[in-house]
Homo-oligomer: A and B are copies of this chain.
Amino acid sequence: MAHITTSVEYGIHCLLWLSGSGEVSLSSRDLAELQGISPSFLAKIFPKLEKAGIVAASEGVRGGYRLAKPASEITFLDVVDAIEGEKPLFECQNIRTRCAVFDGDAPDWVCEGICGVHGVMLLAEKAMRDVLAKKSLADVGTAFMRKAPQSFGTDVGTWIDDRVKGRKPGRTPKNSGPPG
Contacts and interface: CB of A to CB of B under 8 A. Distances in A.
A99 interface: yes
A132 B122 CA distance: 10
**Secondary structure of the A contact surface, majority rule:** helix
A121 interface: yes
Identical copies in the complex: 2
B37 A156 contact: no
Contacts of A16: 117
Interface residues of A, number: 60
B140 A132 contact: no
A144 B123 contact: no
A128 B2 CA distance: 14
Contact of A4 (B37, B90, B141): B90
A43 interface: no
Given A89-B4, A109-B149, A131 B123 contact: yes
Interface in A22-49: 33-37
A124 B132 contact: yes
A91 interface: yes
A1 B91 contact: yes
17 contacts: A2-B87, A2-B88, A3-B90, A4-B90, A9-B90, A10-B95, A13-B95, A33-B100, A76-B124, A96-B144, A99-B156, A110-B147, A116-B140, A116-B143, A120-B140, A124-B129, A127-B128
The 4 A-B residue pairs with the shortest CB-CB distance, nearest first, are: A3-B3, A36-B98, A116-B140, A128-B128
